[in-house]
A and B are shown apart, each in its own frame.
Chain A
Amino acid sequence: MKEISCKLLVIGAGPGGYVCAIRAGQLGVDTVIVEAGKPGGTCLNVGCIPSKALIHAAEEFEKVSHMAGGKSPLGISVTAPTLDLARTVAWKDGIVSRLNSGVAGLLKKAGVKTVHGWASFRDGKTVAVETETGVQVIRAETIVIASGSAPVELPFLPFGGRAISSTEALALSDVPKKLAVVGGGYIGLELGMAFAKMGAEVTVIEALPRVLAQYDAELTRPVVKRLTALGVEVMLGAKAKGLSTKGDALLVETSDGKSAKVAAEKILVTVGRKPVTEGWGLEQIDLDMAGKFIRIDDQCRTSMRGIFAIGDVTGEPMLAHRAMAQGEMVAEIVAGHKRSWDKRSIPAVCFTDPELVTAGLSPEEAKALGGEIKIGMFPFAANGRAMTKLGEDGFVRVLARADNHLVLGIQAVGQGVSELAAAFGLALEMGARLEDIAGTIHAHPTQGEGFQEAALKALGHALHI
């Protein structure tokens, strides 16, 4: 097959890779992108998007089930609903496939050539792609590695059969009667709660003393409360040990050292994600690493000239929007602009029930700075809009420096608070002070008012509490 030469080659069409390619194309850079699967990467195909579809379906189903119980304070009663998970999954697949073609279309519109196949490095300027029609060699001046990440597998609980990763969990045709979730991080809880709402009996096994350990306990309390309400059993300080001999249960070592069996039709293993650093010829180019990840500088340059890396393969936080921002930046650097990574915050959202949003520093990190900190917290129990949507649990919390009121971090937990991520991110990126947020009119009645009130609270004059 005839060699292709281009200015920029992007390996991997996940959110980092495809954004990089689109932006480069917009800037007139001759760009090729290689992807073995469907465009969109983990996020679009087996991550953010499909999980949110499933979570939404579960939420709706749970709402209706609750109404069917005759206890809805809204006065709505219905007959008991049923769920055809296969149809739900088909609906979800429809969304994914619409987005797949959307991304493909955007790449085409930007003038980016897409090559389908598995890429591997031959040397620092040459990549061989195994396509359906043979090996395609691509030479590029600049190469961007956006190979992404994959679920971590437990050696004693390999994927296959009952043990599934999030990918398989998003494609089940039936709701498992009993579901064990190994790992109480955000992926495990998002999916575990969704399956619980769809009727599964869910047990979460978490090795640490609490779930969602990356967040502070105050923030996760409403989630823990909701887990209990949904009947999810949470085993803290417990370790999964493998399948029982019969193969129908998960062996667990509990926090007090005893062995326990957790009966499970499916065992969802969500113990983290690892960068994809194998199978694409990393050994051929011998890049410097930072732990498991590829080491990059503030321009996403690797240790080899002309090779950039973006997204999950470059480290935490493994979030689509971080990868997108990196991809955009790299494209602009390749096009000759002066850019470097100078983002102030990478907001993170956890789609549990209720949702969590964090942006900037956590209380612990803020205190670690050494200066005096002001904290303002406003509970949704005092927010009109939250009351009208049965979402009184949760709060907005703002952290600021005591000396100049510069906002350092913002967190929220509550129904639908993921949408507040926009406001939080903007406030931090613009370098807002408490007075800036307090002085901005927040539309009434919305949950966003909680943000303004939290800032007012930190200033010492909250109006509605």
Chain B
Amino acid sequence: MGEHIIKLPDVGEGVAEAELVEWHVKVGDIVREDTVLAAVMTDKATVEIPSPVDGEILWLGAEIGDTVAIGSPIVRLKVAGEGNAKPQGAEAEAVSAEPPAKLPTPKPEAAAPVVKTSPKSDEPKAKPAASQKSTAQPSVPGAPRPAGERPLASPAVRLRAKEAGIDLRQVAGSGPAGRIGHEDIEAFLARGPQVAKASGLARNDAVQDIKVVGLRRKIAEKMSLSKSRVPHITYVEEIDVTALEELRAALNKEKRPGVERPKLTLLPFLMRAMVKAIADQPNLNSLFDDEAGIVHQHGGIHIGIAAQTPSGLVVPVVKHAEARDIWDCGAEVIRLAEAAKSGTATRDELSGSTITITSLGAMGGVATTPVINHPEVAIVGVNKMMVRPVWDGTQFMPRKMMNLSSSFDHRVIDGWDAAVFIQRIKTLLETPALIFVD
């Protein structure tokens, strides 16, 4: 039997470390080759780490939320045959040679003999021979005791509970035979009373601690960065999309034999309108490196499309929208949205945007204050479309109206320029033929 060490592989160009976001296995699990062991997350993408060999998990080298350096050992497996582990001493050196700061929760026993690293394997020998067969420990901490069984606690603990108003029957005992100790009382108090459900209204004083890890942490970092560094100016304008909707319906209805076309949403039209508007105002398609004091004005228009996924917000990117026609834009949006939702979007597909669209569809509301996707300088927000009465000079007409709420980096985009940009988009969307004329 040998030992196989799995190190965190290089998950993307130029990535030095990744955050461990999920363990798919635990110590003692038997895994086969290609079993997914863990998921790590880099700037944008989540990468799954498969097992290269068959074996039994002996040790996991990081906890969820830890940032792990590329090349750090993350899993030790017991495998048939030699394994890839070096002799103990050499391995210890190898481990300590890693920069200490990047080691995931340094564990001294990592270098200890294999069998000892698992607490479970210690159990049998710790027990006296005679009690071995029957000293089952039925009370796992936190497990409720069998119905009708009295809580086990010393008089001092009972007194303490009484004075604190704690019903010991609700307290799990961590001691032998489920004995409740002072520390269990502390833990119970720290957790707060688990008030029995009474009828009617009840106070809930529970506080649940949720670790902000993985994508959620990335989003949090990104949002604080943007909101704290970028002075936003938000501009809301109303667009009459009646004509656009007619055109869209007509295009969707039109079928050409032998040509597979995606169903068009409003987004491809907006994207094409933005491409046109950016042609007049290229400074809006920029990345602002504020530390260097340089605005990188991009020729390629890479439009990020903010998308909601089960784990949070991600922004897949439609590359080179300037080189895509309306159908291509539409198809790419659909493909990326699906990839993002299923979690298969690649790191490349999730990065590199130069301007962003955010749309909540039917949930879009009347107006929003979109947060700029740093270091971009503009974000266009799509609000809900609805039929509203519009005065045409002689009468009220039912028109399909939609607002655009857009934010700009006011350090490099003046309010005037922002207004000109949106007015240009408004004109294009209200007279959609203009989108198709050069």
| Interface residue ranges, A against B (CB under 8 Å) | 337-340, 342, 401-406, 429-431, 433-436, 459-461
Interface pair A435/B154, CB less than 8 Å apart? no
CB <8 Å contact, B134 and A403: yes
| A342→B169 CA distance, assembly (Å) | 12
Cβ proximity bits B140-165 to A, threshold 8 Å, 1 near / 0 not: 00000000000011110010001101
B106-159 residues with Cβ-Cβ distance < 8 A to A are 128-131, 134-139, 152-155, 158
Known contacts A406-B177, A431-B154, A459-B128: A339-B162 contact under CB 8 Å:
yes
Give the chain A neighbours of B176 by CB distance below 8 A. 404, 433, 435-436
Of B137, B154, B178, the contact of A429 (CB 8 Å cutoff): B154
Most buried by A among B128, B134, B139: B134
Contacting pair A431 B162 (CB below 8 A)? no
- A460–B130 touching, CB < 8 Å: yes
Determine whether B179 belongs to the interface, using a CB cutoff of 8 Å to chain A: yes
Q: List 27 A-B contacts (CB under 8 A).
A: A337-B163, A338-B163, A340-B162, A342-B162, A401-B177, A403-B134, A403-B136, A404-B135, A404-B136, A404-B137, A404-B139, A404-B178, A405-B131, A405-B134, A405-B135, A405-B177, A429-B154, A429-B155, A430-B154, A431-B177, A433-B177, A435-B131, A436-B176, A459-B128, A459-B130, A461-B128, A461-B130
Which chain A residues border B134 with CB–CB below 8 Å?
402-403, 405
Return B129 CB to nearest CB of chain A, in Å: 8
Smallest Cβ distance from A460 to chain B, in angstroms?
4
Nearest opposing residue in chain B for A439, CB measure: B128
**CA A435 to CA B152, docked complex, whole Å:** 16
How far is B134's CA from A460's CA once the two chains are assembled, in angstroms?
Answer: 11
7 nearest CB pairs, A to B: A460-B130, A404-B177, A431-B152, A406-B177, A430-B154, A461-B130, A431-B179
Residues on B with C-beta less than 8 A from A340 are 162
A461 CA to B132 CA in the complex, in Å?
12
Q: Please state if A403 and B138 are interface contacts (CB–CB under 8 Å).
A: yes
Smallest CB–CB gap between A409 and chain B, Å?
14
Instruction: List chain B residues, Cβ under 8 A from A337.
Output: 163
A230 CA to B154 CA, complexed, in Å: 43
Contact of A406 with B152 in the complex, beta carbons under 8 Å: yes
CB contacts (< 8 Å) of B162 on chain A: these are: 338-340, 342
Residues of B within 8 A of A401 (CB): 177
What's the Cα separation between A430 and B158 when bound, in Å?
A: 10
Most buried by B among A403, A404, A405, A461: A404
Within 8 A of A (CB), among B162-181: 162-163, 165, 175-179
Min distance, Cβ B253 to any Cβ of chain A, angstroms = 74
Measured between beta carbons, the chain B residues less than 8 angstroms from A405 are: 131, 134-135, 177
Contact of A431 among B128, B135, B153, B165 (CB under 8 A): B153
Query: Among the interface residues B139, B153, B177, which one has the most CB atoms of the partner chain A within 10 A?
Result: B177
Complex Cα distance, B1 from A233, in Å, reads 77
Q: Which residues of B contact A459 (CB under 8 A)?
A: 128, 130-131
Q: A423 to nearest B CB, angstroms?
A: 15
Residue of B nearest to A456 (CB): B130
Smallest CB separation, B282 vs chain A (Å): 76
B 253-278 contacts with A by CB, 8 A: none
A111 to chain B, nearest CB (A): 25
Which of chain B's residues has its CB closest to A400's CB? B177
Q: In the complex, what residues of B have CB within 8 A of residue A460's CB? A: 130-131
- Residue in chain A with minimal CB distance to B181: A431
Q: Which chain B residues border A436 with CB–CB below 8 Å? A: 176
Question: Min CB distance, A258 to chain B, in Å?
Answer: 49
Pick from B130, B135, B137, B165: contact of A338, CB under 8 Å: B165
Question: Which residue on A lies nearest to B139, using beta carbons?
Answer: A404
The answer for the CA separation of A112 and B178 in the assembled complex, in Å, is 43
Say how far A341's CB is from chain B's closest CB, in angstroms: 11
Closest to A339 in B: B162
B427 to chain A minimum Cβ distance, whole angstroms, is 76
Complex: how many Å from CA A350 to CA B194?
45
Across-interface contacts of A429 in B (CB, < 8 A):
154-155
Give the Cβ gap from A223 to chain B, nearest Cβ, in Å. 32
Q: Quick one: which of A340, A342, A429 has the most chain B CB within 10 A?
A: A342
Q: Once the chains are docked, how many angstroms separate the CA of A430 from the CA of B177?
A: 12
Question: Is A435 touching B136 in the complex (CB atoms < 8 A)?
Answer: no
A337 to B165, CA, bound (A): 11
Please report the C-alpha to C-alpha distance between residue A430 and residue B162 in the assembled complex, in whole angstroms. 16
CA distance A158 to B69 in the complex (A): 95
Tell me how far the C-beta of B132 lies from the nearest C-beta in chain A, rounded to whole angstroms: 10
Q: Mark B71-83, 1 if CB is under 8 A from A, else 0.
A: 0000000000000
Measured between beta carbons, the chain A residues less than 8 angstroms from B131 are: 405, 434-435, 459-460
CB <8 Å contact, B179 and A435: no
When the two chains form their complex, are residues A342 and B158 in contact, meaning their CB atoms are under 8 A apart? yes
Identity of the chain A residue whose Cβ is nearest the Cβ of B176 in the assembled complex: A433
Q: CA–CA, A156 to B139, complex, Å?
A: 58
Least CB distance from A371 to B in Å reads 10
> CA separation between A334 and B175, bound complex, in Å?
34
Q: What residues of chain A lie closer than 8 Å to B163, measured between beta carbons? A: 337-338
Q: In the complex, what residues of B have CB within 8 A of residue A339's CB?
A: 162
A402–B130 Cα distance when bound, in Å, is: 12
CB-contact partner of A435 in B128, B129, B158, B178, under 8 A: B128
- Nearest opposing residue in chain A for B168, CB measure: A342
Nearest A residue (CB) for B135: A405
Residues of B within 8 A of A406 (CB): 152, 177
Question: Which of chain A's residues have a CB closer than 8 A to the CB of B158?
Answer: 342
Give the shortest distance, in Å, between B408 (CB) and chain A (any CB): 64
- Interface residue from B128, B138, B155, B165 paired with A404 (Cβ < 8 Å): B138
| 8 A Cβ contacts from B356-395 to A | none
**Shortest distance between the CB of A383 and any CB in chain B (Å):** 21
Q: Mark B334-355, 1 if CB is under 8 A from A, else 0.
A: 0000000000000000000000
Nearest B residue to A401 via CB reads: B177
Measured between C-beta atoms, what is the minimum distance from A366 to chain B in Å?
14
Q: Give the interface centre of A402, A435, A436 by most chain B CB atoms within 10 Å.
A: A435
- Complex Cα distance A436/B131, Å? 13
CA separation between A402 and B135, bound complex, in Å?
A: 8
Minimum CB–CB distance for A459 against chain B, Å:
5
Q: What residue in chain B is nearest A406 (Cβ atoms)?
A: B177
- Chain B residues within 8 Å of A434, by CB: 131
Chain A residues near B128: list those with CB within 8 A.
435, 459, 461
Contacts of A404 in B (CB 8 A): 135-139, 176-178
Rounded to whole angstroms, the CA-CA distance of A460 and B132 in the bound complex is 11
Supplied contacts A405-B134, A431-B154, A460-B130, 10 more A-B pairs, CB within 8 Å: A339-B162, A342-B162, A404-B136, A406-B152, A431-B175, A431-B177, A433-B176, A435-B176, A459-B130, A460-B131
A326 to chain B, nearest CB (A): 15
Residue of B nearest to A343 (CB): B155
- A289–B368 Cα distance when bound, in Å, is 73
Q: Measured between C-beta atoms, what is the minimum distance from A397 to chain B in Å?
A: 18
A415 to B139, CA, bound (A): 39
**Interchain CA distance A429-B137 in the complex, whole Å:** 20
* Bound-complex Cα distance A405 to B128 (A): 13
